[in-house]
Structure 1
Amino acid sequence: MATLAVQAVFLLMGWMAVLHITRSGLSQRVYESVLDENARAVTQFHAQLLHETQGSIDHGSPQWERIQSMVEAYRPPGGAQIFLLGRDNRVLCHPTLRTNTNLRRVDYSEQQVTLLPRGGTLSLARLNPRTVAVGKTEFLSGPAALAFLHDPERGVKIVVYMPDAVLEAAGRRMTTGLLWWGLPTALLVLVLTGLGSAWLVRRYDSMLVRVNRLLEREVQRRTRKGLAIRDALVFGLAKLADYRDTDTGRHLERICRYSEMLALELRSVNPDISVEWIERLKIASSMHDIGKVGIPDSILLKPGILTPRERTLMELHTTIGAETLLAIRRRVGTDALLDMSIQVALEHHEKWDGTGYPHKLSGSQISMAARIVALADIYDALTSKRVYKDAMSHDKARRIIVDSRGSHLDPDIVDAFERVQHRFDEVRAHLQSDEPEQSLLARAVDEARKAAA
């Protein structure tokens, strides 16, 4: 009996732990599912709105009558609710507006919304997304999950929300059913414990293993997502710096591709180059010239030959970039991507024979990542049009790189380039635009302004 009592206590504790973990997981999944359903409801209603209306929707107009009827008839899934705000962020259409006209007085301008998943908080008046956004807010009736979209042509914001109370009730129903199913099961297990306690222990252990695996996969998923966001931000900031002096289009994309091709070709002969190393290189290569933000425009954009003094100042971009990244590393701690980025920023102008800058490193003193980026950068500079020169052909650039073997460039990397040089030409042709990227961006901005006028 004592053994059964002890086993009953441990079984109860284990069951409560599993129930707690399961309830947390279910609540999160229910919340994420509701956000997705709200977003789909906004999209579906907006599609109907585009079909049924044109131009601004004014209260009391025939067009408003049609939309109000649509709102009254629309039933978002799972007990969610829908309403429309006008340009003044007051209620324009609501399922109960005809019976409760006081809703027209409700002003949501200062309603605070916490955006998901990033967590920034803004007032509803400042949120004007043209694609569906999701978040959470605190209405007078309580907290709620919501999705919303701004249609500037019609002057409305479509809001679909579900109170947290409805979400909690759904989660309780799911976990309560699990609890009531578990109680008789637990009793049955206690009865069978005397006949097969070892089997029950193994089953319990197996359950914990499965739960742990689920948690591990979730941690891995969130880690991958965080790294993807970090890499995208790094590349975006590097591209912002690149806009100051690059007039050849998709420069950073080409450098990434060239560096990746060289690293893949070298992987078979260099055991230090792994898949993870190559992924870091692709991001680190985009930061090779980040230090140019500290170089004056009069030097950076000069169409003619630089004077010795100007050349000395231009060469400072390597140390500026490395010191900037070092300052970041001092704050965040050791990081493999930052370490490689510092090496690339500092050493990509060093030469194999020791005549480069800033420290006249030679041979293997130069990091492998910097040696690879150096060749990629030289090839792109030769084959791209600049304010002071025309683009060089692939064949001529190839000859220059081959002639630099053992002097400017690592012989092994030049040999790897020779094996994939035809793919360099293909990438160059695919990613090189005759129109500068700044011009493309300016044209897009002009078109957007005309469309908004």
Structure 2
Amino acid sequence: MTLHPIRIRYFLLALLVSAQAGCLLFGVAWVTGWLWESYDHIVHDYVSAAGQLQAHELALEVRELHVTTAEPGTEDWQKLQILCENANISHDGILCFMRRDNGAMLCHPDLKNDPGLLRLFPGKCLLMNDGTNGPIIHLAHEAEFQRVPIVNGKVDLEGKIYTFTGLSLPSINAILGVYHSDIAIASFVAATVRPVMQIGYILAAFVVGATAMIAAFLLKRYEAGLDAVNKRIETQVAERTQSLICTRNALTFGLARLAEFRNYDTNKHLERIRSYVLILASEMSRTNHRITPSFVADVATASLLHDIGKVGIPDAILLKPDRITPSEREAIEMHAALGKECLASIRKQFANDDFLKVAEQIAATHHEHWDGSGYPQGLQGKAIPLEGRIVAVADVYDALKTDQPYKEALTHESAREWIVTSYAQQFDPAVVEAFVAREEDFRRISLGKRDTQPWKKAKTDTLTCTFDSAALAGTR
């Protein structure tokens, strides 16, 4: 299935906008991800540095309080507990004291609410720092031994991850620990980076939207210009096509008249045939949806060439005013095959021309009978092309209604009776039904366009105007 060019352009525009949106969203996501990670490292480094500074400041406060022991229940312990409760540690942080020897909890801000915290051993928690890990108390001892009393890392305390900064206080057998919540740090990073991310997505959406609008505007202008050009071209093509059709019809009419002039007839016969065929085809199109307006027009025009093969019949036979002999009838019947051959040779030059194909079918089959008794091929029923079946009724009706050297014209009623009695024998029943439905139009056309025969007065005394069934069938 092929797409309309305009749909293709809009599809390409949508594809371009989608690709641009995808690239921008990927870029924003990558940049914000990188920014998030970088800022997270910066904040953690800052928190670690701030933790070390706070640890030193708190150690100085402990010294200023003249604390000599951290044993629970003592006055000095009370001072340390108050210090823990009042300490202002950023990022939901807490200040704790733990024993240096076994890592047991000594002081905690929530100790009053939960005395069970004294049963914890946070000093034995693993501290992760630059790829090394171990219990806090061991790392604190090692740091003290190396004269680097500060230890940093992450620790899991009561199911929560903290950034830990520890300072050993040997004088009171305690480790001062400053904890910063990683959840709070992550929230702080998110609160800082998320607006930047949102701004990035908004800018990306703005760029995509602006690009789409500009592209759509330019495409609309392009389509408007293209439509104007197309309309001009279509108008020119339509005018040229109409001119060619008029030329074709004129040539068809002229070619048909060449054949009819030899048979004591004028162009009115051709006009009547065309009118009859147009009426029949139009009426049948009401119930047969395969009969299109184009087919109706082609059949009506091509019907002018139904007897083109008569140009190959000798005048002595074609213009004979008396009854014709069987051999002469055979010669006249050759006009169907001659017409087909003539039009087929023309159609070879235009292999895809539907009009010439219809004309060829009409010339070859308009004397075929529904029961198979016609000529030249003896086709039967629907094996006869529809255009041939339609022209057969129109041709016979006009032959019955027209004066000829060998017969007088019939009245409309007599012609109608003759056609109806040949129902299902010579004619397609569907075409006869269309004829009966529009017989008043046939009557009007036959009365309004009757031929005047200049030979009739000169020969009327010598002509025998009787006719037989062959004459009624329009075989001449």
Per the normalisation by structure 1, the TM-score is 0.52
Partner of 1:237: 255
Equivalent residue for 1:299, pick from 317, 323, 328: 317
Pairwise CA RMSD of aligned residues? 2.3
Percent sequence identity over aligned pairs: 42
- Residue in 2 that maps onto 1:176: none
- How much has 1:291 moved relative to structure 2? 0.2
Residue 107 of structure 1 is matched in structure 2 by: none
Amino acid in structure 2 at the alignment position of 1:255: I
Note the 1:340-351 alignment, pairs <5 A: 340-351=358-369
User: Are 2:425 and 1:411 equivalent residues in the alignment?
Assistant: no
Change (3 A) 1:251 1:201: closer
AA in 2 matched with 1:397: A
* Structure 2 SS opposite 1:250: helix
Q: Does residue 288 of the first structure (1) align with residue 306 of the second (2)?
A: yes
**Residues 257 and 282 of structure 1 are in contact (CA less than 8 Å); yes or no, is this contact kept in structure 2?**
yes
Q: Quickly say closer, same or farther: Cα 1:229–1:249, change in 2 above 3 A.
A: closer
Match of 1:359 in 2: 377
Q: Distance in 1 between matches of 2:369 and 2:393?
A: 10
Corresponding residue number in structure 2 for 1:370 = 388
Q: CA deviation at 1:220?
A: 2.2
Distance 1:438 1:344 in 2: 30
Inter-partner Cα distance in structure 2 for 1:402 and 1:300: 28
Note the 1:390-429 alignment, pairs <5 A: 390-429=408-447
| C-alpha distance 388-221 of structure 1, shift in aligned 2 (>3 A) | same
Contact 1:249-1:437 at 8 Å conserved across structures: no
CA apart distance, 1:209:
2.8
Over residues 160-199 of structure 1, what are the superposed CA-to-partner deviations in whole Å (9 max), with x where a residue is unaligned? xxxxxxxxxxxxxxxxxxxxxxxxxxxxxxxxx99x8443
Match of 2:356 in 1: 338
Consecutive unaligned residues in structure 1, runs of 5 or more: 1-192, 440-453
Change (3 A) 1:213 1:243: same
| Number of aligned positions between the proteins | 247
- State the one-letter code of the partner of 1:326: A
**Paired letter, 1:236:** G
Which structure 1 residue ranges, 4+ long, deviate > 3 Å from structure 2? Answer: 196-202, 246-249, 435-439
Alignment partners' CA distance in 2, 1:247 and 1:421: 23
Which amino acid counterpart does residue 378 of structure 1 have in structure 2? V
Superposition deviation, residue 225 in structure 1: 1.5
1:318 is aligned to 336
With structure 2 as the length reference, what TM-score do the two structures score?
0.49
Residues 437/270 of structure 1: CA separation in 2 closer, same or farther (3 Å cut)? farther
Alignment equivalent of 2:282, drawn from 260, 264, 267: 264
417 and 436 in structure 1: CA distance in 2 versus 1, 3 angstrom threshold: farther
Partners in 1 of 2:353 and 2:341 — Cα distance? 15
Read off the aligned partner of 1:347 and give its amino acid letter: T
- Cα deviations by residue, 1:312-369 (Å, 9 ceiling, x for unpaired): 1110000000000000011222210111111100001000000000110010000111
Say which SS state the counterpart of residue 305 (structure 1) adopts. Answer: coil
Task: Show CA shifts across 1:236-278 (max 9, x none).
Answer: 1111211110336611100000111111111112112111111
Aligned partner letter, 2:424: G
> Which residue of structure 2 lines up, in the alignment, with residue 170 of structure 1?
none
Alpha-carbon distance between aligned partners in 2 of 1:216 and 1:263, rounded to the nearest angstrom: 29
One-letter code aligned to 2:306:
H
Q: Is the Cα contact below 8 Å between 2:268 and 2:450 reproduced in 1?
A: yes
- Kept after mapping to 1: 8 A contact 2:405/2:456: no
Shift in Å at residue 204 of structure 1?
3.4
Distance 2:245 2:456 in 1: 28
Amino acid at match of 2:330: T
Higher Rg: 2
